């Protein structure tokens, strides 16, 4: 079915990214709550239909590890992309409560399964693996979003600000053009590390400039999980963060790694963690909203 703006009731804002805003919306005809992402584009009208056609592949297949796509429409120079609403939110807003290793393993396994599905079933490289693009719901499901389905859309996105956290693999920074599935494996490793540690592994405050930060990614030995984690977890992250892209394992090998295979399918209570992390996020957001404004200067 087709979705248009008239059928949607706009609810609260879920977040802002480099390309626009994500809003919670209610689709009246179907009674479905959705997340609607507004993407400002820099392009001529003639490309709009090819973007819609490229997005159409998403209607043809589904995975429990990929956020469901409901439809997209255009208004002037913006694309409105409607997808499954994930009530717990993105990983970057959940890991603050701490992530035990079985939960970390479960999240990682879901991510690898999602990435493998994109590659095997849709021939897509994600291109933007990072904690803000890993969404969780209160059922305990973990799903990827914001992958590069439409080449035309990726090319046309107008950046409104440049992020100061790069998940780009070293070979992408130094060679610029090559983007392979191995680059996604690096971004996966960095995302797991951030989720475990609770902060981005190349903190901007440590570097004098974005240039110095990118240079560190290319030139320094890769970051690693501390000794407090199991050898399996540390080894898994180290394999994803090998500086030589060709040495990084394929998804099949990653799924067979003990860090992912040692926990049975229903052994990890992801649901309880997801609910606890979601409640903590909501409490933090409430506290920020109610925080007293800065005292008036006398």
Question: Could you tell me how many residues of this chain bind ligand ATP (CB under 6 A)?
Answer: 24
Q: Are the C-beta atoms of 115 and 144 separated by less than 8 Å?
A: yes
Q: Which residue is nearest to Mg ion (CB)?
A: 146
Give the other-Cβ count within 10 Å of 227's Cβ: 8
Which of 92, 128, 146, 184 is catalytic? The answer is: 128
Write down the least CB distance from residue 23 to ligand ATP, Å: 9
Out of Mg ion, ligand ATP, none, which partner does residue 15 contact, by CB within 5 to 8 A per kind?
A: ligand ATP
**Which of 86-94, 196-204, 225-233, 249-257 is the region at the interface with ligand ATP (rule: CB under 6 A)?**
86-94
Instruction: At 9, list the tokens.
Output: 């009731």
User: Strand pairing partners for 16?
Assistant: 21
- Cα–Cα distances (Å) from 199 to 51, 94, 117, 192, 266, in that order, read 35, 12, 28, 10, 28
**Which of 82-90, 198-206, 211-219, 241-249 is the region at the interface with ligand ATP (rule: CB under 6 A)?**
82-90
Nearest 5°: CA angle at 296, between 293 and 298?
165
Residue 71 interacting with ligand ATP (CB under 6 A):
no
Binding ligand ATP (rule: CB under 6 A), the pick from 105, 108, 110, 132 is 132
Residue 15 interacting with ligand ATP (CB under 6 A):
yes
User: Strand pairing partners for 32?
Assistant: 27
Name which of residues 149 to 168 contact ligand ATP (CB under 6 A). 163
Strands (E), the chain: 8-16, 21-27, 32-40, 69-75, 78-84, 89-90, 134-136, 142-144
Residue 200 interacting with ligand ATP (CB under 6 A):
no
Residue 184 interacting with Mg ion (CB under 5 A):
no
Binding Mg ion (rule: CB under 5 A), the pick from 133, 141, 183, 187 is 133
Closer residue to Mg ion in complex, CB, 200/229: 200
Write down the least CB distance from residue 267 to ligand ATP, Å: 27
Q: Is 130 annotated as a binding residue?
A: no
Known catalytic membership, residue 128: yes
Secondary structure letter of residue 41 according to DSSP: B
Residue 17 interacting with ligand ATP (CB under 6 A):
yes
Which residue has tokens 């989720």? Answer: 195
Query: Using N-to-C axis directions, what is the helix angle for 231-240 and 181-197, rounded to 10°?
Result: 140
Closest CA to 81 of 111, 64, 58, 61: 58
For residue 175, the Cα-to-chain-centroid distance in whole angstroms is 24
Q: Which residue is nearest to ligand ATP (CB)?
A: 17
Closest CA to 73 of 51, 98, 102, 105: 51
Q: x/- binding map, residues 30-69, to ligand ATP, per CB under 6 A?
A: -----x-x-----------------------------x--
Residue 187 interacting with Mg ion (CB under 5 A):
no
Write down the least CB distance from residue 146 to Mg ion, Å: 4
Burial of 157 (0-12, 13-18, 19+ CB in 10 A): middle
Contact residues for ligand ATP, defined by CB under 6 A: 14-19, 22, 35, 37, 67, 83-86, 89-90, 93, 128, 132-133, 135, 145-146, 163
Residues at the binding site for ATP are: 37
Q: Which residues are known catalytic residues? A: 128
Binding residues are 37
């Amino acid at each position: 079915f087709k979705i248009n703006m008239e059928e949607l009731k706009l609810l609260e804002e879920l977040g802002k990214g480099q390309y626009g805003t994500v809003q919670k919306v209610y689709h009246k005809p179907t009674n479905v709550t959705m997340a609607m992402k507004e993407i400002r584009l820099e392009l001529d009208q003639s490309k709009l239909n090819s973007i819609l056609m490229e997005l159409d592949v998403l209607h043809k297949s589904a995975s429990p590890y990929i956020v469901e796509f409901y439809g997209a429409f255009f208004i002037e120079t913006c694309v409105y992309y409607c997808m499954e609403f994930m009530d717990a939110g993105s990983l970057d807003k959940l890991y603050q409560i701490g992530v035990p290793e079985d939960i970390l393993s479960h999240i990682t396994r879901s991510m690898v399964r999602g990435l493998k599905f994109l590659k095997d079933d849709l021939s897509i490289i994600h291109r933007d693996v990072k904690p803000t693009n890993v969404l969780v719901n209160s059922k305990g499901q973990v799903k990827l979003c914001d992958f590069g389905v439409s080449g035309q859309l990726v090319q046309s996105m107008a950046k409104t600000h440049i992020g100061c956290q790069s998940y780009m693999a070293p070979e992408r920074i130094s060679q610029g053009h090559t983007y392979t599935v191995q680059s996604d494996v690096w971004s996966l490793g960095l995302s797991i590390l951030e989720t475990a540690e609770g902060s981005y592994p190349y903190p901007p405050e440590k570097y004098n400039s974005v240039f110095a930060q990118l240079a560190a990614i290319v030139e320094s030995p890769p970051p690693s999980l501390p000794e407090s984690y199991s050898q399996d977890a540390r080894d898994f992250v180290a394999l994803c963060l090998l500086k030589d892209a060709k040495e990084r394992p394929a998804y099949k090998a990653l799924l067979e790694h003990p860090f992912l295979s040692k926990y049975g399918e229903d052994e990890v209570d992801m649901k309880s963690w997801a609910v606890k992390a979601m409640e903590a996020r909501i409490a933090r957001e409430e506290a920020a909203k109610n925080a007293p404004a800065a005292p008036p200067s006398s």
